[in-house]
Amino acid sequence: MSSIAVKSDFLDPEISAASRERIASLQLENLRETLKHCYKNNIFYKKRIDDSGLDPDRIKDLSEIEKLPFTSKEDLRRNYPFGLFCTPLSEVVRVHSSSGTTGNPTVVGYTGQDLDMWAHVLGRIMYDVGVRRDDIVQVSHGFGMFTGGFGFQFAAEKLGALVVPISGGNTERQLKIMSDFKSTVLCCTPSYTLHMAEVGEKLGIDFAKLHLRFGFLGAEPWTEPMRREIERRMHMIALNSYGLSEVIGPGVSCECLARSGLHINDDHFLTEIIDPETGKTLPAGTKGELVFTSLTKKAFPVLRYRTKDISYIYEDDCACGKTFIKMARPLGRSDDMLIIRGVNVFPSQIEEVLMKVEDLEPHYLIVLTKENYMDKIEVWVEVSEGVFHEKLMDLEAFEKSIESKLYSAIGIHIKVSLKEPRTIARSEGKAQRVLDKRQERN
Ligand code: ADP
Ligand code: ZN
């Protein structure tokens, strides 16, 4: 059997709890296979490997991968749609594409074996936290070109659970099904989960009486206070799930029940952290951009793919027993980083502050404008029901107190504008947190 073959059982203790040395040797073996596969089957990668002087058969250490240049989203776009595939199209059985949050979509492909691997690594994550055959998994991610829906569908199905492929949207129906079918697991974005909580509460649904056990929530940045809010309102354990279509989709990494970082599926994805400015590899524990190399994919392998996602990686002695390395909750993408008067700000840092203020709702929008050629940042945030009218007299004082909290946490003045409940648009997928009006003419 080739080393690229994937086992199909869900308990992989001999891998997920193996020593780091064992995992590194497996990674090295599969890295060689992947490089040979790319070299043989794709002209773009062949040239890159030739230019780097790397001989796949002679690689002795994982760090030698640093000789290879990075693959960027631009490389994917330039080779649109199938130029970076490494198998003939006759072997590709599915394509997906990124949701195009930051530009033109990029296309990724899977062979049957790739799909098996994907279902396996994501199913394994779900199994490890306790999802079993008798669970009812409601998949509220979009189905279609986005990887979220199908990713969870096949993983949960492979695990033997009953899957409800409801997709995103139609919130009242989501809630009816959640209640009637007694869904125990929810796969969704955190922002849409909160929207479900809000609509459900309005309809008089008592989430404590529903059957939700776990939420696998991701596809967008979110914060620890947001998790507490979701857990309190939905009565389930909310786990942070991370992935991107270029690497596979959901299943790249996810939290275990220890909820202290996301274990990366280390035997399939080699992770590096780089300085986004210089491209230099950074040591574990240092914040930078995540870079992934797939180790077992056939149709669309990636070599040193720059994600633009900001995080850091580390090893720890996790209570769950897994030895897979961890990544910290992603702060956001470097593209989403706002530079306001020289200070770098991620929307998630603003969220972190807002979510800790009592009487605010977890719905906000960051609005950027230009005034006298200067960037101005303002955040609109909803106050809780009742508070708006109750506090009408001193809304301004309330705004000022939030502004000073933001100032002490972030170091710049951000104007706060309190809004009435339910006036900021809700998301049924990935939330749009920033409205950039700087280019608009007045
Ligand atoms: P697009 O790049 O068009 O949004 P994808 O649908 O593949 O395409 O989305 C992947 C991206 O979503 C990741 O690169 C990351 O920026 C974001 N993302 C996914 N999961 C998380 C998460 N748990 N936390 C923060 N960001 C996430
Ligand atoms: Zn763990």
Distance 402 CA to ligand 2 centre (A): 35
Specify the higher pLDDT residue, 1 or 406. Answer: 406
State how far the Cα of 15 lies from the Cα of 29, in Å rounded to an integer: 14
pLDDT classification of 103: cutoffs 50, 70, 90: low
pLDDT at position 214 is 98
Instruction: Summarize pLDDT for 130-161 with one digit per residue, the tens.
Output: 999 999 999 999 999 999 999 999 999 999 99
Residue 9 has pLDDT above 60, yes or no: no
C-alpha 56/C-alpha 278 separation (Å) is: 26
Ligand number nearest CA of 255 is 2
Q: Taking 50 as the threshold, does the pLDDT of residue 378 lie above it?
A: yes
pLDDT value of residue 1:
35
d(C-alpha 123, C-alpha 116), whole Å: 10
pLDDT at 15: 86
Q: Which ligand 1 atom is nearest residue 331's CA? A: 25
Name the residue with higher pLDDT: 181 or 442. Answer: 181
Provide mean pLDDT across the span 54-80.
Answer: 96
Q: Rounded to whole angstroms, how far apart are CA atoms 185 and 213? A: 6
DSSP state at residue 281: B
pLDDT of residue 389: 76
- pLDDT above 60 (res 90): yes
C-beta 220 within 6 A of ligand 1: yes
pLDDT digits (tens, 9 = 90+) for 10-31: 556 678 889 999 999 999 999 9
Q: How many residues does the chain have?
A: 442
CA of 321 to the centre of ligand 2 (A): 6
Segment of 203-212, 362-371, 390-399, 433-442 carrying the highest mean pLDDT: 203-212
Do 415 and 377 meet the contact criterion of CB atoms below 8 Å apart?
A: yes
For ligand 1, say whether the CB of 382 is within 6 Å of any of its atoms: no
pLDDT higher than 70, residue 409: yes
Chain-wide mean pLDDT for the chain? Answer: 93
pLDDT at 341: 83
Q: What angle do CA 214, 220, 223 make, to 5 degrees?
A: 70
Choose one of 104, 152, 309 to mutate for the ligand 1 pocket test, by most ligand atoms within 8 angstroms of C-beta: 309
Give the rounded percent of residues in the chain with a pLDDT score beyond 90. 88
The pLDDT, as a whole number, for residue 99 is: 61
User: Which domains are present in the chain?
Assistant: 13-335 (3.40.50.12780), 343-436 (3.30.300.30)
Q: Measure CA 333 to chain center.
A: 10
User: How many helices (H) and strands (E) in the chain?
Assistant: 12, 21
* pLDDT, mean of residues 111-126: 97
Query: Given ligand 1 and candidates 107, 118, 220, 247, which is best to mutate, with the most ligand atoms within 8 Å of its CB?
Result: 220
CA separation for the pair 263, 132 (Å, rounded)? 20
State pLDDT tens for residues 301-325: 999 999 999 999 999 999 999 999 9
Predicted pLDDT at 390: 76
Whether 421 shows a pLDDT value over 70: the answer reads yes
Report the distance separating Cα 139 and Cα 149, nearest Å. 6
Query: What's the gap in Å between 222 CA and the centre of ligand 1?
Result: 11
What per-residue string of b and e applies to 124-159 under the rule 16 or more CB within 10 Å gives b? bbbbbbebeeebbbbbbbbbebbbbbbbbbbbbbbb
- At 102, the pLDDT band (50, 70, 90 cuts) reads low
Does residue 346 have a pLDDT over 60? yes
Quick: pLDDT tens for 214-249: 999 999 999 999 999 999 999 999 999 999 999 999
Indicate whether residue 245 lines ligand 1 (CB < 6 A). yes
Burial of residue 19 (CB within 10 Å: 0-12, 13-18, 19+) is exposed
